[in-house]
Amino acid sequence: MIRVLVGARSSVVRAGLESLVRSIPSLEFAGTVDASRLPKFELSGELSGDVLLIEAGDSIEQEWAVLADLPIPVVALVDFGDSALAGSALRSGIRGAISRDATPEEIEGAVHAVNAGLVVTTPASLAELLPEAQAFAEGPLTQPLSEPLSEPLSDRELEVLDLLAEGISNKLIANRLSISEHTVKTHVASIFAKLGASSRTEAVSRAIRRGLVML
Question: CATH number of 131-209: 3.30.930.10, 3.40.50.2300, 3.30.310.50, 1.10.10.10?
Answer: 1.10.10.10
Domain 2-121 of CATH type 3.40.50.2300: yes
Q: Looking at residue 46, what is its pLDDT?
A: 57
Contact partners, residue 70, CB within 8 Å, separation at least 6: 41, 43, 47, 52
Given a contact cutoff of 8 angstroms between Cβ atoms, the answer to whether 26 and 112 are in contact is yes
Given a contact cutoff of 8 angstroms between Cβ atoms, the answer to whether 115 and 50 are in contact is yes
Greater pLDDT, 107 or 92: 107
Q: Which helix (H) or strand (E) holds 7?
A: strand 2-8
Given a contact cutoff of 8 angstroms between Cβ atoms, the answer to whether 118 and 200 are in contact is yes
Q: Which helix (H) or strand (E) holds 17?
A: helix 11-22
**Domain layout of the chain by residue ranges:** 2-121, 131-209
Which pTM value belongs to this model? Answer: 0.60
pLDDT tens string 43-74: 434 567 899 999 876 656 667 777 877 888 88
Given a contact cutoff of 8 angstroms between Cβ atoms, the answer to whether 63 and 39 are in contact is yes
- For 29-97, the three-class secondary structure string (H helix, E strand, C coil) is EEEEEEHHHHHHCCCCCCCCCCEEEEECCCCHHHHHHHHHCCCCCEEEEECCCCHHHHHHHHHCCCCEE
CA distance linking residue 202 with residue 139, whole number of Å: 20
Percentage of the residues of the chain whose pLDDT score is greater than 70: 74
Nearest to 107 by CA among 54, 145, 40: 54
Greater pLDDT, 209 or 54: 54
Q: Which helix (H) or strand (E) holds 99?
A: strand 96-99
